[in-house]
Amino acid sequence: MRRHKINWKVPKGAELTELDKKVLYYQDRGHLVPTRQLIKTPEQIEGIRRSGVINTGVLDLVEKEIHAGMSTADIDKMVYEYTKDHGAIPACLGYEGFPKSCCTSINEVVCHGIPNEEEILEEGDIINVDCTTILDGYYADASRMFIIGKTTPQKEKLVRVAKECLEIGMEAAKPYSFVGDIGHAIEKHAKKNGFSVVRDLCGHGVGLEFHEEPDVEHFGKKGTGMLLVPGMVFTIEPMINMGTWEVFIDEEDGWTVVTEDELPSAQWEHTFVMTEQGLEILTH
């Protein structure tokens, strides 16, 4: 077995807890384990949960208002105003130069689509709206797919299977299982339905920062990747493509990720906390 660096360090003179013993068991056998800093305190988890309530409210509002004929800039305005009115901050705005408060990704756009006035939703479009909220320094991150009016059976299936992939990935994530277990389950379900999984982007730890460890890939092998320990907070956000898994970034804006074959893509995302009983969604 591959030997990983020692991440889990018990303070000198400290008595070993049951959590220490469990994590050290896996570390001693060469598995990649988190650092103690990735284990959130109950107070931190509650803060992320409160941020998640606002993030959910944002997406609920989008779900209520989204329709053919509106621009993606209209969506962005809703996200900004709702977030600010609830005392929070849209994390996307200004992040590494990103100019808007959310990402709006239509049809063949996989993720990181930039809202603008000229981009008008049309009947049959599928769109992912991705929002991240900061409340009192705590981050919560989620996205949903929306079908505009009536679309094709193929697009409907893609949206449905992408959501199933998220749910199956969630079920695969057990305490003291591995990140690879999540990816393995997602990839298996996507392939069974004739779809592919984007490999160049992944889920991630979240909570005290926008992006933390671990990387949560949506493909892989069981028993690989980081050990999932109670107290860890992370997203699962599979990006499922109708055609090839390969993607490219639009050279003009440097952000928009598009499928290489320009066939549609769909994505769903939640922020989760690992508990002793399994995953709990923090962005209902």
Query: Which parts are annotated binding residues?
Result: 112, 130, 141, 204, 211, 237, 269
CA distances from 172 to 12, 99, 177, 202 (A): 35, 36, 8, 16
How far is residue 35's CA from residue 67's CA, in Å, rounded to a whole number? 44
- Nearest residue to 199 via CA among 208, 190, 211: 190
Q: Is 128 helix (H, G, I), strand (E, B) or coil?
A: strand
Which residues are registered as beta bridge partners of 55?
none
Contacts of residue 31, defined as CB under 8 A and 6 or more positions apart, other chains included, come to: 1, 4, 178, 227
Annotated binding site for substrate, which residues?
112, 211
Annotated binding site for a divalent metal cation, which residues?
130, 141, 204, 237, 269
CB atoms under 10 Å from CB of 153, counted, come to: 7
Which residues are registered as beta bridge partners of 196?
241
- Nearest residue to 30 via CA among 65, 58, 4, 66: 4
